């Protein structure tokens, strides 16, 4: 077979067997040749397409753009073009294709056009789905005042979608900035914590969660809750970080206001405790003491007449003494004068002595290297925490022994109250308001409270607070 015939035969086989659509149209854009793949795409037979205008199978919305490009081919100002368009199938449905069109020339003139069409319906569907999902994501991000950012470890660039407030007063949108600029906008006191988390994510593959303050373009401080994780390449190497920032400024403001109210409430409670304690001590205790003196005087006069003292008088005397002791104990619980005059160590020893005498629970105190002069609000806070913890031991633990330990390390003052009783589940919300009150007291002075307990394994409550300027050298020894 001559080479030209072989060439024509091979070309015919290639066109016939191709999996994409192939067509030849004349100068008037009527089909002259169509392959089986194009017929299958459109749902027409070869005879139904040959001689038919190509515009009949193109969506009218796309035909104008294609026609303008075709005219450029005809004029010679464009050698070829590629377009995405919709074919109208025989059943009326639309089919997205990517078409490549080139002129079909004879030696002397333009004969027509050669087209290749590839079905991209699946790609277009994925693209539409991606666009819809992106729109949903943008709406979610906007509604939640969140920002999604990604750090490219190689370039050191941070790309951001959503609410960032870093560049201008413009509404939330996309942003690309350097990691250094991003960190510059983080509050100086929080910057190191964020850097530590990002480094650990890149080098150790650790996910992270933290809260930090962000200074936006207008100079406002915004509280951010950030959650992030490393992004890996196909080889498993960390190539960056993907993170979500949620603006929690309003929530933080509410927390600050709540803590402020709780602080004022605690202070008002202490003021009321002092007032009631003074009333008990200065009024009721004195009146009971006067009544006791009068009863003693009456008893002495009876003895002077050598008469027997009525048993009712003796019972009254005993009852008054007991009431006086109870009022003294209640006055101490409300406001410890020893705490005010002698310091925390003396007040804790007195508290333990009272508990041991009244409830038969042996409570030991270890308070070495505890300064005699602590800030009043710190001493009162730790005393109240210890008082509440010991009350819980008495009421709930069924323990016969408990211990109180106060220690100082540098500027960190630590109070621990422990027992070997029945324990409880700290996560149980029904565990009472006492623990919540202790936490609020510690928060009020800038401290923390930790609770360790489990059923039948006892309880340990630890309160910690830092006192700037406090030195061990100023502490007194003893326990």
pLDDT of residue 182: 86
C-alpha neighbours within 13 Å on the C-beta side of residue 335: 18
> Dihedral through CA 32, CA 37, CA 43, CA 47, nearest 10?
30
- For the cut 90, the answer to whether the pLDDT of residue 59 exceeds it is yes
Tokens representing 150?
């990604």
Give yes or no on whether 3-119 and 143-247 have one common fold: yes
Q: What is the pTM of this model?
A: 0.46
How large is the average pLDDT for residues 95-123? 89
CATH number of 143-247: 3.30.450.20
Architecture of 3-119 per CATH? 2-Layer Sandwich (3.30)
Closest CA to 415 of 393, 372, 383: 383
Contact 138, 161 (CB under 8 A): yes
What is the arithmetic mean of pLDDT over 357-381?
83
Which residue bears the tokens 């009321």? 272
Please, what is the average pLDDT of the chain? 81
pLDDT tens-digit readout, 289-313: 777 777 777 777 767 776 666 676 7
pLDDT beyond 60 at 33? yes
Q: How confident is the model at residue 166 (pLDDT cuts 50, 70, 90)?
A: low
The full set of domain ranges for the chain reads: 3-119, 143-247, 251-335, 339-479
> How does pLDDT run across 134-155, given as a tens digit for each residue?
777 666 666 666 778 889 988 9
User: What does the alpha-carbon distance between residue 382 and residue 413 come to, in Å, rounded to a whole number?
Assistant: 10
Whether domain 339-479 has CATH 3.30.565.10: the reply is yes
pLDDT number for residue 475: 42
Residues 6+ apart with CB under 8 A from 63: 55
Quick one: pLDDT at residue 371?
A: 73
**Does the pLDDT of residue 478 top 50, yes or no?**
no
The predicted pLDDT at position 279 comes to 59
pLDDT band at 271 (very low <50, low <70, confident <90, very high): low
CA–CA distance, 379 with 265 (Å, rounded to integer): 18
- What is the token pair recorded at 290? 């006067």
CB 355 within 8 A of CB 361: yes
CA dist., res. 449 & res. 434, Å (int): 12
Whether the pLDDT of residue 216 is over 90: the answer is no
Question: Which of the four pLDDT bands, split at 50, 70 and 90, describes residue 193?
Answer: very high
Which has the minimum average pLDDT: 161-170, 240-249, 384-393? 161-170
Bigger pLDDT: 302 or 30?
A: 30
């Amino acid at each position: 077979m001559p080479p030209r015939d072989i060439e024509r035969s091979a070309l015919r086989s290639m066109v016939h067997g191709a999996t994409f659509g192939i067509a030849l149209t004349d100068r008037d854009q009527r089909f002259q040749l169509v392959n089986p793949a194009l017929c299958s795409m459109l749902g027409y037979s070869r005879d139904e397409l040959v001689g038919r205008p190509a515009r009949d199978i193109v969506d009218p919305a796309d035909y104008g753009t294609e026609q303008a490009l075709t005219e450029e081919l005809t004029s010679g100002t464009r050698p070829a073009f590629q377009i995405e368009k919709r074919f109208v199938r025989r059943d009326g449905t639309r089919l997205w294709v990517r078409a490549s069109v080139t002129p079909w020339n004879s030696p002397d003139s333009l004969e027509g056009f050669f087209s290749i069409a590839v079905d991209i319906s699946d790609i277009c569907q994925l693209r539409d789905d991606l666009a819809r999902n992106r729109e949903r994501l943008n709406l979610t991000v906007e509604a939640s005042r969140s920002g999604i950012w990604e750090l490219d470890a190689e370039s050191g660039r941070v790309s951001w979608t959503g609410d960032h407030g870093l560049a201008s007063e413009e509404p939330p949108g996309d942003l690309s900035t350097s990691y250094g600029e991003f960190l510059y906008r983080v509050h100086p006191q929080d910057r190191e914590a964020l850097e530590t988390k990002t480094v650990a994510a890149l080098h150790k593959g650790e996910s992270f969660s933290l809260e930090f303050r962000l200074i936006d373009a207008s100079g406002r401080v915004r509280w951010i809750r950030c959650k992030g994780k490393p992004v890996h390449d196909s080889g498993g190497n960390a190539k960056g970080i993907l993170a979500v920032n949620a603006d929690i400024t309003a929530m933080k403001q509410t927390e600050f206001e709540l803590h402020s109210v709780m602080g004022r409430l605690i202070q008002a409670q202490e003021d009321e405790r002092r007032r009631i304690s003074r009333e008990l001590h200065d009024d009721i205790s004195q009146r009971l003491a006067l009544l006791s003196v009068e009863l003693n005087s009456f008893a002495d006069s009876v003895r002077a007449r050598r008469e027997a003292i009525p048993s009712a008088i003796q019972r009254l005397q005993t009852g008054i003494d007991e009431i006086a002791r109870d009022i003294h104990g209640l006055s101490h619980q409300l406001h410890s004068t020893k705490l005010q005059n002698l310091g925390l160590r003396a007040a804790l020893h007195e508290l333990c002595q009272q508990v041991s005498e009244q409830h038969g629970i042996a409570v030991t105190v270890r308070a070495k290297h505890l300064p005699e002069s602590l800030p009043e609000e710190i001493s009162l806070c730790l005393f109240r925490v210890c008082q509440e913890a010991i009350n819980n031991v008495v009421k709930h633990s069924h323990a016969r022994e408990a211990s109180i330990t106060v220690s100082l390390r540098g500027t960190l003052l630590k109070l621990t109250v422990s027992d070997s009783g029945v324990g409880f589940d700290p996560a149980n919300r029904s565990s009472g308001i006492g623990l919540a009150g202790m936490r609020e007291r510690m928060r009020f002075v800038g401290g923390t409270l930790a609770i360790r307990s489990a059923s039948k394994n006892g309880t340990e409550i630890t309160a910690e607070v830092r006192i700037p300027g406090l030195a061990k050298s100023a502490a007194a020894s003893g326990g």
